[in-house]
Amino acid sequence: MSGSSSSGHTPDSAREEQEPRQPEIPKAPELPPPPEIPQPELQRPGQPAKPPAPLQKGMRAMALASTIGLSLVIPPVLGYFAGRWLDGRFGTDPILSVVGLMVGIVLGFVEMVHVLHQIEREERKER
C-alpha cells in the first residue's frame, strides 16, 4: 500500500468537500435617483433685487424690535458694573456707579432711537 486510498479522491479534493461553502450574499436593491434640488437664482450685478418674502420681512422686523429691548437693558447694566469697578479702584463708592448707570441709560435710549429710525427707513423702502 503506497498511501493511496481506495475512494479515488485526492487530498486536495477532500479538503474542498470538507470546507463549508460561503452563502451567496444577495445583491443590494438599487436605490432610486436622488431628488433634484432647485438651485437658487443668483442675482446678477445691475439687476433690481427681488422683494423679500412676507415671512422674511416679518422676521427682520422682529429681529430689529428685539434689539430695542436689549439696547435698553445691556448698556445700563454694563455701565453700573463698570462704575462699581471704578468705585473700587478709586474709593468713590456710589458716585461712579450712578454715573455709569446714567451713561448706560442714555446710550441705551440713543441706540433705541437709532433702531427705530432704521425700522422706519425699511418701511419707507417697502412702499
Please write the tens of the pLDDT for every residue from 44-72. Answer: 777 666 655 777 777 887 888 888 999 99
Q: What single-letter DSSP state applies at residue 46?
A: T
Residue 2 pLDDT exceeds 70:
no
Average pLDDT over residues 1-28: 63
pLDDT of residue 29: 85
Average pLDDT in the chain: 81
pLDDT of residue 34: 86
Portion of the chain with pLDDT greater than 90, in percent: 36
pLDDT of residue 61: 78
pLDDT of residue 84: 96
pLDDT of residue 15: 55
User: In the structure, what pLDDT confidence band is assigned to residue 21 with cuts at 50, 70 and 90?
Assistant: confident
Q: What is the per-residue pLDDT across 72-89, written as a single tens digit (0 to 9) for each?
A: 999 999 999 999 999 999
Contact 64, 119 (CB under 8 A): yes
CA angle 89–91–92, rounded 5-degree value: 115
